[in-house]
């Protein structure tokens, strides 16, 4: 039975979504093509009908995961974002959590294409979190610097917390301390 073009696109999207979840959970090197395809409900041989290589799928899955992170962050103010991001639920939900916290370390050792995908994801998240016109005369560069600083801190906090044993009091302490310190630094910048 021949697969329609629409079905082939749906299959590809399903593979990308499955890969995005598995890569966030186990890292790029923690999932092989055969296992990934089986998890998506397809045979290993069908992989190359959709992708030239695992690296191509990694880039597409990263874009998918970063897009999901952006969608879930859109409409949140920075305080809400920090509280959700630095929660135990986000820390424990590796496979559904932020792609940056799950894979930035892996992405740093990947191709320029994957690094560019992550850079685009960071830019998208920064744009979604910047308060925009509500700051009046505040220098946009100051606001951007504050958002970059905040983003680096929250991602780093989740990475550190995840590096501890799941039931470790330190894992929770890292989230609590970083949430408190990050929120304290988010007072509105002064107008120039």
In a domain, 192, yes or no: no
Higher pLDDT, 154 or 76: 154
- Total domain count for the chain? 1
Overall average pLDDT of the 109-135 stretch: 87
Q: What is the pLDDT of residue 134?
A: 52
Of 141, 98, 131, 105, the closest CA to residue 28 belongs to: 105
In a domain, 190, yes or no: no
Q: What is the pLDDT of residue 2?
A: 79
Q: In this structure, what DSSP letter does residue 131 have?
A: -
The CA-atom distances, in angstroms, between 52 and each of 2, 15, 113, 129 are: 21, 14, 14, 35
CA 93 from centre of chain? 12
Alpha-carbon distance of 190 to 131, in angstroms, equals 14
pTM: 0.87
In a domain, 86, yes or no: yes
Q: What is the pLDDT of residue 133?
A: 53
CATH of the domain at 155: 1.10.357.10
Alpha-carbon distance of 105 to 18, in angstroms, equals 20
Containing structural domain, residue 135: 5-185
pLDDT in tens, 143-190: 899 999 999 999 999 999 999 998 899 999 999 999 999 999 986 554
Residue 191 confidence class, pLDDT cut points 50, 70, 90 = very low
pLDDT in tens, 81-105: 999 999 999 999 999 999 999 999 9
Q: What is the pLDDT of residue 192?
A: 45
Asked if the model's pLDDT at residue 110 lies above 90, the reply is yes
């Amino acid at each position: 039975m021949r697969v329609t073009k629409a079905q082939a696109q749906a299959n590809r999207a399903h593979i990308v979504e499955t890969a995005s979840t598995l890569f966030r959970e186990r890292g790029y090197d923690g999932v092989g093509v055969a296992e990934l395809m089986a998890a998506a409900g397809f045979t290993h041989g069908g992989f190359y009908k959709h992708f030239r290589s695992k690296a191509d799928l990694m880039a597409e899955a990263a874009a998918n995961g970063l897009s999901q992170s952006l969608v879930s962050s859109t409409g949140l103010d920075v305080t809400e974002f920090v509280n959700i991001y630095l929660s135990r639920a986000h820390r424990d939900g590796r496979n559904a959590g932020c792609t940056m916290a799950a894979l930035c370390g892996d992405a740093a050792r990947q191709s320029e294409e994957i690094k560019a995908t992550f850079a685009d994801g960071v830019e998208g998240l920064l744009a979604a979190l910047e308060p925009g016109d509500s700051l009046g005369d505040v220098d946009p560069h100051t606001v951007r610097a504050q958002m970059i600083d905040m983003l680096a801190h929250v991602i780093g906090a989740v990475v550190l917390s995840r590096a501890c044993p799941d039931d470790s009091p330190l894992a929770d302490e890292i989230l609590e301390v970083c949430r408190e310190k990050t929120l304290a630094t988010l007072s509105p910048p002064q107008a120039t």
